[in-house]
Amino acid sequence: MSDTPLITVLCGSASEEAEVSRVSGRALAETLAQSHEVELIDLPANFLPDNLDPAETVIFPALHGTFGEDGQLQSMLEERGFAYAGCDARASALCMNKIDTKAVVADCGFDFARDLTFQSATPPDAAALFAEMGPRLVVKPMDKGSSVGLHIVESEEHLDRILGELPPGSWMLEEFITGREMTIGLLDGQAMGIVEIVPEGGVYDYAHKYTAGATSYRYPAEVDEAVSARARQAAEKAFAACGCRDFARLDFILLEDGRLIFLEINTIPGLTPTSLLPKSASCLGMDFAALAGRMIAPAIERFNQKHLIPHG
């Protein structure tokens, strides 16, 4: 058996982030094809194709959001014996839940915005919430990525309207923290460069994330070296505390006083040459092809350890 197995890149699915996933999948497949045999599968729904053979292929799940990033797909891959890139099912499920992640990384060097969780069917009282946590609040799903469903609320009336319009699901409300929005990529548990996100208008929502020209980026971010070192160390501790493996991206806000406000960990971040994780890697002189190769390498090693017949 070859020591360079087929790489199967999965993208698409029925997630709200399926289109973004397809962009990631295509970019990743094209890049990996420079050095590996690659197939790209665009999933029309949330399932794992029956014709994939765990003895022949390594899986790279380039799926963002529900199903691809919340542990569901990872559980299927593990049950069928696949070697695959990225965090395992447990870490994926944990990091998809923003509240649970906060609890796990509580001792890693971050501060946190005050928050409240609720079900959309039983929303909290808008007047009491706004009086306690205003004047600016963030409402967002507890278990989705890519800023899907994010709302910035600046009045009691606005909050009351948003709470009444939320689709079914688990939601969270946080106090709005004013500071510099930052992200840092992690590869094999090691922090890469810090990227500053500067959205036009100040809010990095879904539209700003995926609309050309709506956001500018500074990388490496202009940050005091002591603060930078502290952020990298905190990110590495959070990666380890959550049981992550291979790669991830951690988002935080840097306050003027140097405090780091934790936002979330993305276990399958955007994977195009212009995405945030490649920007973080480029701070270390790593281009997209080199990054993609490093991201898939541990999964290939796991495949080889499981399937290759020892020589001797």
Instruction: Please give the full DSSP string across the chain, using - where no structure is assigned.
Output: --SSPEEEEEEE-SSTTHHHHHHHHHHHHHHHTTTS-EEEEEESSS---TT--TTTEEEEE---STTTSSSHHHHHHHHTT--BSS--HHHHHHHHSHHHHHHHTTTTT-B---EEEEETTSPPPHHHHHHHH-SSEEEEESS--TTTT-EEE-SHHHHHHHHHHPPSSEEEEEE---SEEEEEEEETTEEEEEEEEEETTS---HHHHHSTTSEEEESS----HHHHHHHHHHHHHHHHHTT--SEEEEEEEE-TTS-EEEEEEESS---STTSHHHHHHHTTT--HHHHHHHHHHHHHHHHHHHHPPPP-
Task: Identify the band that residue 273 occupies on the pLDDT scale cut at 50, 70 and 90.
Answer: confident
Q: Above 70 in pLDDT, residue 87?
A: yes
Task: Identify the band that residue 126 occupies on the pLDDT scale cut at 50, 70 and 90.
Answer: very high
Which residue's entry shows tokens 């691809």?
68
pLDDT at 123: 93
pLDDT at 199: 80
Task: Identify the band that residue 206 occupies on the pLDDT scale cut at 50, 70 and 90.
Answer: very low
> Could you tell me the residue ranges of all domains in the chain?
6-85+290-307, 95-111+179-287, 115-175
Mean residue pLDDT across the chain: 92
Please state, for a pLDDT cut of 90, what percent of the chain lies above it. Answer: 85
Per-residue pLDDT, averaged over 188-203, amounts to: 87
User: Would you state the structure tokens that stand for residue 195, as one six-digit string?
Assistant: 């990227």
Which superfamily is assigned to 95-111+179-287 in CATH?
ATP-grasp fold, B domain (3.30.470.20)
Task: Identify the band that residue 250 occupies on the pLDDT scale cut at 50, 70 and 90.
Answer: very high
Q: Residue 253 carries which side chain, given as an amino acid letter?
A: I
Q: What CATH class is the domain 6-85+290-307? A: alpha beta
pTM for the model stands at 0.92
Q: Above 90 in pLDDT, residue 8?
A: yes
pLDDT at 201: 63
Per-residue pLDDT, averaged over 235-244, amounts to: 98
Q: Above 70 in pLDDT, residue 28?
A: yes
Q: Above 50 in pLDDT, residue 158?
A: yes
pLDDT (tens digit per residue) in 38-74: 999 999 999 999 999 999 999 999 999 899 999 999 9
Are the CB atoms for 191 and 252 separated by under 8 Å?
A: no
d(CA 237, CA 229): 12
CATH of domain 115-175: 3.30.1490.20
